Structure 1
């Protein structure tokens, strides 16, 4: 252990001395299991000596409370919260019923620093009247004054401009079941400013393999049943540490692990093969793989016929042929089923034709129709494999091997999370990859899925009850896309109706610290007259607000689980300590404001009562999920299946799509969000690819030649988004923002390890520490993310990013940005 910490001038003793300082102030005064080896001792003697000094919690005078780490990092790890003399002194991993899900990472271990952060917001603070936002001029007010001010503002704006002039921004900084912001805002008729994050994977999945209880993937424990696993555009060793060990279990069982990523990541280092693809070309590679599978005859014909839309007949207007077209059902009725043919003149529903045709064009009672599979072949032919070889910078033999691994060395799994999401063309990349499943037949069975393994515990929610606490709720009239807010302000209307946004509540989110193009974000936030931020610390958004509400830490309140973990359990968060200072839970803040607005009767419940009344449904009841069960046992499995028989997405080939099949053809393409746009949807019925918006090296992209480097970011082990950005112990290990570059790039610009560089484009700049790594492709500046803007010597990372989004799938394109850099003096 000591050798691992003796690098970069940081000794183990220095690390412990500094990183324990804040914890010691809170009572975290022992770490006996990491005592240094004495000179002359053997490793065995040291281990025995250390073991002798490990105290039990009881011996240390501690109480243990169940806790949940729920910062939306896909972990949802179950924790022991150690409390001594009324103070949190440390955290540790807590046993789950199936202990292979036991995990805790550096973030989970460092919560004591977040609880006792010196920058905790201690009491409600209002910006001093007459001062500018961000000037740091605050006055302390009481909770009564804060609640009265919010109620006055919200009510006044609603009376003058309509209830939709008040809006909320809801993030995932406190990801839990007890979420009453949406019911409250629906009661008053407020709008929502949608952060438009991570939408590409939802959009692409709903079109192809469907979104179910575990997103579009099998339970992570099922990976051991796969023979081929492709980790595509993801780095689970860093970003999904709860599930990474399941990949290693699969590898040990004989699975071939392949990583497709522009960066040689920690996950790539654990794989059998790394494919360093050119960024933004993933969809083109997926199409090349599909073409190769078909060319080699590796596609699963029986699966295509029985479990995909391949035999469905498409009319010239792009719609499927249905019984109503043949005069055998009423159009739009439940019996108006899609029709297939045997190729010999018989047209009927799929269950009545044992061997449907998947190739050919036919005449169905005078209606010209073509098999959807034929349309797929025609679309794929528009992208020859040699184009992918050139554009993706992946050799032909590698493409052919990938195709064989996925289609022949089966069952196969493609694991992707959100890396591919973060381009303007991201949804095409994901859509194309998911369509491979139709050809390989690797879906709906153990060891087979293409997509993301993430437990969507929201499926246990009663959707109507969760969004409203009364049938009298006005509801949300407008969902406003964040990347279009300036245009909405300038137009003074939305969807053709007069509209003005007057008040915004930033809830469980750091808007400025996380969104693309900080200058754009700040410019429209400046147009909001009244900005409220609920925060634990004074982050970028709080410092630019008009009113800041101090939010209690997770351990200072009762709550239930996380709604987006890889961990299959719903877990109980007990209240371990009283809220520090004058902080309140989000739950209590909303109750206080609701009471001031005459809505208190609708929010007269406890967190446990809300859980049972507004979350649990019949499915949850059948699995024994209730507030009482969680309070008693601490954790209840939240996914059908078991450790012996893991959950399988689309089990029995019943996929949660519009047709119940895997869909590579989209009959009714439409944007994922309506803000009045009229996009061209002519390419959206089938796999398609186009260049990213801004990255260099694409001849067909008008923005590609502006700057020579892609500004790419990677997830950090020590932070989730901007959470944990203020943890003192983490800063000893990772003290400041950095940018990695290839040695050739550094040599061309005269940059050495440890120099400072200024990264810039026409939107902004930042000055960061340079690192040199052969794991980064030439042409990429790989930047660390999740920093507060004050951590930069100059500028910020978010200022460099482009707020440009697709009009078809609106999602923030964090990776689709280009820039340049220059060496500067420290």
Structure 2
């Protein structure tokens, strides 16, 4: 794994390459929710032997090319998304660096600036001084003009009256795809979530408030702004029924498994419901088992998400992520002994 810390991914890896953290690298940040291009310049040098992701992959590419030449490995045919491609491992480094034109992460950032539509043409060094610049065509919204680096087909259809990317070219709710017909979902349809018999509480989850996904969830400063360890929100009435008070360690369980967390009693949680922010590293839980232990449906995929060849419905590998029935389960909790 290429990781900035010894998190759970690293513990599952045979080899761990130390990667520079967020403020130890040069990079760009461009997000369609904000009309700015922001620089990420190296505030402090990387610790120890760590390097940024691009440099680590460059070194791997160099090693692959060197070894392929030494062994005289000829080009091979491979398949990607149904397309046949030719792979010459002796040229891995040459391809990765674009023939030597790109040699570090600053070069990559400059290439993105120079070649991307809607981004002001500015040097990375100048951008590092300014810190942030406004992208083109976004005086009022992110989708103002053709000069914007972002485009939304829906916004274009509404504002410029282009046909929608549906099979009818119009706003469409009725879908007569054979799979939708089979599942009784030709129109937006409510279907009650799955439940596990004997376990009355439905558990929901949300994005972490004191971190980004799993990053910084174990940071001491951010932990000081919260309970300092994995906690789960429970309704006061549900807590009373189970003789649990705020701060107790509780066992959350169902027929699939169990995990332990601190009870966070809150009247903001409805009766019959549990709520937990995600992103906690399994190492922070008792026995290194987190909420995934009770999610019996985490690997299931909704079949209609795989439908294709129907206007806007078109599953493509690496371009569309089918919805998972992630919260279709129930559980219960009790005070940990």
TM-score by length of 2: 0.70
2:20 aligned partner: 552
Distance 2:52 2:116 in 1: 29
Shift in Å, 1:683: 5.4
Shift in Å, 1:642: 0.6
Shift in Å, 1:806: 1.0
Distance 1:781 1:685 in 2: 29
Select the structure that is richer in helix: 1
Shift in Å, 1:738: 1.5
- From 704, 711, 720, the equivalent of 2:212 is 720
> Which whole-Å deviations, capped at 9, do the CAs of 1:772-815 have from their partners, x for residues lacking one?
22211111011232211222234311222232221222234443
- From 755, 765, 773, the equivalent of 2:266 is 773
Asked whether the 8 Å contact 2:113–2:122 carries over to 1, the reply is no
Asked whether the 8 Å contact 1:753–1:771 carries over to 2, the reply is yes
Structure 1: 5+ residue runs without aligned partners?
1-532, 671-678, 696-702
SS in structure 2 of the partner of residue 717 of structure 1: coil
- Mark the CA change 1:612 to 1:761 in structure 2 (over 3 Å): closer, same or farther: same
Q: How well do the aligned residues superpose, as a CA RMSD in angstroms?
A: 2.9
> Which whole-Å deviations, capped at 9, do the CAs of 1:531-587 have from their partners, x for residues lacking one?
xx111111111112111110001222211114x452221111122222110001100
Distance 2:55 2:266 in 1: 48
Distance 1:747 1:690 in 2: 32
SS in structure 2 of the partner of residue 555 of structure 1: coil
Distance 2:254 2:244 in 1: 19
SS in structure 2 of the partner of residue 720 of structure 1: coil
Shift in Å, 1:706: 4.4
Distance 2:32 2:294 in 1: 30
- From 232, 241, 252, the equivalent of 1:739 is 232
The 5 A counterparts of 1:92-241 are none
2:332 aligned partner: 820
Distance 1:559 1:724 in 2: 19
Asked whether the 8 Å contact 1:639–1:647 carries over to 2, the reply is no
Structure 2 residue 38 is the aligned partner of structure 1 residue 582: no
Structure 2 residue 162 is the aligned partner of structure 1 residue 694: no
SS in structure 2 of the partner of residue 641 of structure 1: coil
2:134 aligned partner: 637
Distance 2:163 2:51 in 1: 43
The 5 A counterparts of 1:29-68 are none
Distance 2:38 2:16 in 1: 30
SS in structure 2 of the partner of residue 712 of structure 1: strand
> Which whole-Å deviations, capped at 9, do the CAs of 1:615-648 have from their partners, x for residues lacking one?
755732xx524554634643232363214x6646
SS in structure 2 of the partner of residue 595 of structure 1: helix
Structure 2 residue 59 is the aligned partner of structure 1 residue 592: yes
> Which whole-Å deviations, capped at 9, do the CAs of 1:653-676 have from their partners, x for residues lacking one?
446624654332447x59xxxxxx
From the CA coordinates, give the structure whose radius of gyration is larger: 1
Q: How many residues align?
A: 272
> Which whole-Å deviations, capped at 9, do the CAs of 1:86-138 have from their partners, x for residues lacking one?
xxxxxxxxxxxxxxxxxxxxxxxxxxxxxxxxxxxxxxxxxxxxxxxxxxxxx
Structure 2 residue 162 is the aligned partner of structure 1 residue 663: no
Structure 2: 5+ residue runs without aligned partners?
66-91, 145-154, 306-321
- Mark the CA change 1:791 to 1:820 in structure 2 (over 3 Å): closer, same or farther: same
Structure 1's consecutive aligned runs of 4 or more residues displaced over 6 angstroms after TM superposition are: none
The 5 A counterparts of 1:423-434 are none
Higher relative contact order, structure no. (Cα contacts within 8 Å, ≥ 6 residues apart) = 1
SS in structure 1 of the partner of residue 117 of structure 2: helix
SS in structure 2 of the partner of residue 624 of structure 1: coil
TM-score by length of 1: 0.31
- From 707, 720, 740, the equivalent of 2:199 is 707
Asked whether the 8 Å contact 1:611–1:627 carries over to 2, the reply is no
- Mark the CA change 1:713 to 1:626 in structure 2 (over 3 Å): closer, same or farther: same
Asked whether the 8 Å contact 2:34–2:142 carries over to 1, the reply is no
